[in-house]
């Protein structure tokens, strides 16, 4: 999303002066490469480019708790990407920026949402004004926020959490995990580059899931280096 747009814009001006074949893996594909194309190690071997930028982003962090793999449990990436459709009473595990966006998205569709957050406040990673707007919206639409709550187990009809040493439950029909993200694996793409001695750069969330600003900065730095 972020980093590749800036690499793309920078490269539009810089590439005409460069000789060679470059591969950009990530959302830059729309302008410089191929849409609907998964860059695989085979793709890199066949193309044998002069340089590769890997910006494949991050995927959801899995929660190592009992019940996280039950069929009524999905993750924020799939819900926001339209691949999963929670229904009924939804419990969202994780009240950071992503959990908040999931709650806004689902309440817009008329679903009843409860957010479980282990820290002492919701949306602590959001800016001040955005946090106030979300809090007002949650109050208006009735999103329930439970803080200091560490999720322990997911059952068919309830989520179990620990709060001040006490085990509690909140009932649910479906559960969405929004407990963070981790870089998607890049080892195979890197190995393919190493085999052919192709220089490569890993940027954005593919290094570590952070903010768009980090991805954009690394996109600009990479565009300048190339
Ligand atoms: C719900 C949510 C809300 C967020 N809100 C904010 C916010 O308000 N502010 C903020 O600063 N940040 C926010 N972020 C974080 C921000 O979205 C990321 O930091 C940023 O998008 C990272 O950019 P990127 O280019 O590294 O990766 P991405 O934007 O994830 O792009 C990676 C792209 O690579 C493609 N891809 C993956 N593998 C391959 C492959 N093998 N071949 C070809 N293509 C591939 C993917 O399909 C994807 O399009 C949010 C994240 C989420 C999930």
Q: How does pLDDT run across 150-206, given as a tens digit for each residue?
A: 999 999 999 999 999 999 999 999 999 999 999 999 999 999 999 999 999 999 999
Calpha distance 170→159 (Å, rounded): 5
Q: pLDDT, tens digit, for every residue of 127-155?
A: 899 999 999 999 999 999 999 999 999 99
H or E stretch at 2? helix 2-14
Which residue pairs from 36-41 have beta carbons closer than 8 angstroms and sit at least 24 positions apart in sequence?
39/189, 40/188, 40/189, 41/188, 41/189, 41/191, 41/192
Calpha distance 197→219 (Å, rounded): 22
Q: Where are the domains of the chain?
A: 3-59+182-225, 61-181
Q: Which of 26, 30, 92 to mutate to test the pocket of ligand 1 (most atoms within 8 A of CB)?
A: 26
pTM, 2 dp: 0.85
Q: Assess whether pLDDT exceeds 70 at residue 104.
A: yes
Q: Which of 4, 5, 27 to mutate to test the pocket of ligand 1 (most atoms within 8 A of CB)?
A: 27
CATH 3.50.50.60 is right for the domain spanning 61-181: yes
What is the pLDDT at residue 10? 62
* Beta carbons of 179 and 61 less than 8 angstroms apart: yes
Q: pLDDT, tens digit, for every residue of 58-89?
A: 999 989 999 999 999 999 999 999 999 999 99
Rg (CA), the chain: 21
Q: pLDDT, tens digit, for every residue of 4-21?
A: 666 666 666 655 555 566
Residues with CB under 6 A from ligand 1: 1-4, 25-27, 38-39, 55-57, 76, 80, 97-98, 101, 184, 204-206, 210-213, 215
* Ligand 1 atom closest to 55 (CA): 26
What is the pLDDT at residue 173? 98
Q: Assess whether pLDDT exceeds 50 at residue 29.
A: no
3-state secondary structure 8-42: HHHHHHHHHHCCCCEEEECCCHHHHCCCCCCCCHH
Cα 180 to middle of ligand 1, angstroms:
13
């Amino acid at each position: 999303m972020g980093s590749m747009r800036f690499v793309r814009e920078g490269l539009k001006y810089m590439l005409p002066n460069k000789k060679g074949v470059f591969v950009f893996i990530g959302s830059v594909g729309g302008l410089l490469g191929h849409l609907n194309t998964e860059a695989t190690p085979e793709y890199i071997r066949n193309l044998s480019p002069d340089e590769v930028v890997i910006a494949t982003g991050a995927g959801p962090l899995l929660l190592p708790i009992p019940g996280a793999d039950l069929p009524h449990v999905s993750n924020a990436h799939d819900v926001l990407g339209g691949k999963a459709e929670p229904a009924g009473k939804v419990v969202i595990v994780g009240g950071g920026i992503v959990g908040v966006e999931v709650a806004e998205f689902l309440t817009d569709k008329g679903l009843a949402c409860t957010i479980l957050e282990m820290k002492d406040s919701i949306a602590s990673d959001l800016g001040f004004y955005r946090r106030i707007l979300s809090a007002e919206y949650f109050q208006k639409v009735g999103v329930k926020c439970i803080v200091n709550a560490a999720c322990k187990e997911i059952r068919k009809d309830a989520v179990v959490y620990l709060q001040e040493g006490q085990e509690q439950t909140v009932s649910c029909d479906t559960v969405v995990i929004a407990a963070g993200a981790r870089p998607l694996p890049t080892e195979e793409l890197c190995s393919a580059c190493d085999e052919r001695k192709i220089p490569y750069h890993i940027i954005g969330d593919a290094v570590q899931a952070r903010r768009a600003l980090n991805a954009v900065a690394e996109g600009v730095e990479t565009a300048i280096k190339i």
